């Protein structure tokens, strides 16, 4: 029997490496002959996912270990003093973009995993002498398309707009974690606070573009394949900031963002999620993605194209203290232009576009 199995081994291996997927107990496994390039794409995406979700915790634990158990304690203590005393406002004063970090090959592998692409339709133009505020939708479980577009040299933003620097606003709490905060700042992430956004929008001479995932953590609850439910109806603070600084508003929509994950939901789970979100500003969702070696479940996002499309800028007047009526007026105009962008572009990037509608709540 053993001789028979040994003789059959090459045939068995050949079989399993030439089929597209292997299915066992209802689970679709990846073939054995996946090219190295695709393996690296998966690894890069997993590294980004791990860093984005628990990178802060890892950084804190590393700092604690170095202080308690190594001879580097004084170096780390000085670094922590610098972080929390000297450099604590870096995320609110423009951060410190590092082009070398933005050019890491990891970001290209991650981009190619899905793949991700920034799309600039004909007629979209950014004046080099102006600062812009981008309202980005949908948030998804993680704003994958937006991160690639505005935080990576491989996203394509610089090739379209070489005279602008791009930033992505995120939770202020992200910058409390040692080591992790440095990576975030180098990539162009800044605090989503009023102070931080106004600092960038008020830059004399223009040249700044700051992207904001307006729907935030709450919108991530709506992340399910084929759905387009946005949290925008009562989110008007970004419009007020644009008016106060005379910064044009730009609608941005990432087609395919909600197809990267499905998720478990239900009324009881949603109630628990909301309670946690209000405490820590992070939505504790239970994602349904894929794994490293199988396609049926796991924490990795699906390989699905994401097209992040920029709309035409909406000029707004500079009003130091805009009234609620003025904010409502330009918020309504933004919603109108975002809807138009979705309706125009869905025929290029969605299957069965006639059945897809934008829901704003």
Secondary structure string (H, E, C) spanning the chain: CHHHHHHHHHHHHHHHHHCCCEEECCEEECCCCCCHHHHHHHHHHHHHHHHHHHHHHHHHHHHHHHHHHCCCHHHHHHHHHHHHHHCCCHHHCCCCCCHHHHCCHHHHHHHHHCCEEEECCCCCCCCCCCCEEEEEECCCCCCHHHHHHHHCCCCCHHHHCCCCEEEEEECHHHHHCCCHHHHHHHHCEEECCHHHHHHHHCCCCCCEEEEEECCHHHHHHHCCCCCCEECCCCCCHHHHHHHHHCCCEEEEEEECHHHCCEECCCHHHHHHHHHHHHHHCCCCCCEECECCCECCCCCECCCCCEEEEECCCECCCCCCCCCHHHHHHHHHHHHHHHHHHHHHHHHHHCCCHHHCCCEEC
**pTM over cut 0.75:** yes
pLDDT at 271: 72
Q: How far is CA 68 from CA 42, 56, 71, 92, 112, in A?
A: 35, 18, 9, 31, 41
Instruction: Say if CB 51 and CB 104 are below 8 A apart.
Output: no
* CA–centroid distance for 225 within its chain: 17
CB atoms within 10 A of CB 14: 10
Longest dimension (CA), the chain: 85
**Nearest CA-CA partner of 287 in 35, 49, 124, 6:** 49
Enumerate the β-bridge partners of residue 230: 360
Here the tokens at position 46 are 């997993």
Question: In this structure, what DSSP letter does residue 311 have?
Answer: -
pLDDT at 116: 97
Question: In this structure, what DSSP letter does residue 136 have?
Answer: E
**Nearest CA-CA partner of 251 in 126, 155, 134:** 134
Q: For residue 115, is the peptide bond before it cis, meaning its omega torsion is within 30 degrees of 0?
A: yes
* Alpha helices, DSSP H, located in 82-137: 99-102, 105-113
Here the tokens at position 42 are 């998966």
pLDDT tens digits, the chain, 361 residues: what are they?
A: 445 544 544 444 444 444 445 555 556 666 667 788 999 999 999 999 999 989 999 999 999 999 999 999 999 999 999 999 999 999 999 999 999 999 999 999 999 999 999 999 999 999 999 999 999 999 988 899 999 999 999 999 999 999 999 999 999 999 999 999 999 999 999 999 999 999 999 999 999 999 999 998 888 888 889 889 999 999 999 999 999 999 999 999 999 999 998 877 767 766 776 676 666 666 667 777 777 776 666 788 999 999 999 999 999 999 999 999 999 999 999 999 999 999 999 999 999 999 999 999 9
CA angle 49, 121, 152 (to 5 degrees): 30
CA 21/CA 41 separation, integer angstroms:
18
Describe the crossing of helices 324-349 and 237-245 by its angle, rounded to 10 degrees. Answer: 110
Instruction: Say if CB 217 and CB 158 are below 8 A apart.
Output: no
Here the tokens at position 202 are 């008020």
Q: How far is CA 343 from CA 121, 136, 222, 334, 349, in A?
A: 14, 16, 19, 14, 11
């Amino acid at each position: 029997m053993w001789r028979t199995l040994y003789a059959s081994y090459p045939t068995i291996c050949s079989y399993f490496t030439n089929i597209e997927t292997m299915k066992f107990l209802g689970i679709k496994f990846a073939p054995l002959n996946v090219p190295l390039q695709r393996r690296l794409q998966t690894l890069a995406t997993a590294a980004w996912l791990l860093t984005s979700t628990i990178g802060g915790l890892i950084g804190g634990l590393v700092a604690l270990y170095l202080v308690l158990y190594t001879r580097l304690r004084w170096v780390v203590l000085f670094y922590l003093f610098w972080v929390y005393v000297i450099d604590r406002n870096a995320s609110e004063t423009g951060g410190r973009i590092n082009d070398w970090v933005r050019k890491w090959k990891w970001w290209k592998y991650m981009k190619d995993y899905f793949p991700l692409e920034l799309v600039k339709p004909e007629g979209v133009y950014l004046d080099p002498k102006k600062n812009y505020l981008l309202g980005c939708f949908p948030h998804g479980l993680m704003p994958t398309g937006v991160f690639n577009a505005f935080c990576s040299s491989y996203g394509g933003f610089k090739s379209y707009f070489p005279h602008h620097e791009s930033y992505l606003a995120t939770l202020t709490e992200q910058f409390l974690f040692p080591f992790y905060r440095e990576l975030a700042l180098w990539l162009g992430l800044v605090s989503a606070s009023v102070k931080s956004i106004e600092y960038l929008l008020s830059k004399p001479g223009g040249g700044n573009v700051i992207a904001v995932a307006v729907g935030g953590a709450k919108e991530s609850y709506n992340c399910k394949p084929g759905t387009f439910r946005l949290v925008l109806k009562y989110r008007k603070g970004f419009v007020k900031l644009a008016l106060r600084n005379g910064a044009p508003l730009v609608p941005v929509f990432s087609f395919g963002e909600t197809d990267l994950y499905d998720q478990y939901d239900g009324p009881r789970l949603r109630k628990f999620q909301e309670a946690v979100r209000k405490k820590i500003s992070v939505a504790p969702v239970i994602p349904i993605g894929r794994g490293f070696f199988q396609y049926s479940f796991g924490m990795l996002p699906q390989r699905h194209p994401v097209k992040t499309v920029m709309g035409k800028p909406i000029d707004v007047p500079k009003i130091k203290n805009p009234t609620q009526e003025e904010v409502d007026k330009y918020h309504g105009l933004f919603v109108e232009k975002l809807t138009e962008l979705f309706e125009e572009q869905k025929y290029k990037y969605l299957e069965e576009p006639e059945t897809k509608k934008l829901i704003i709540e």
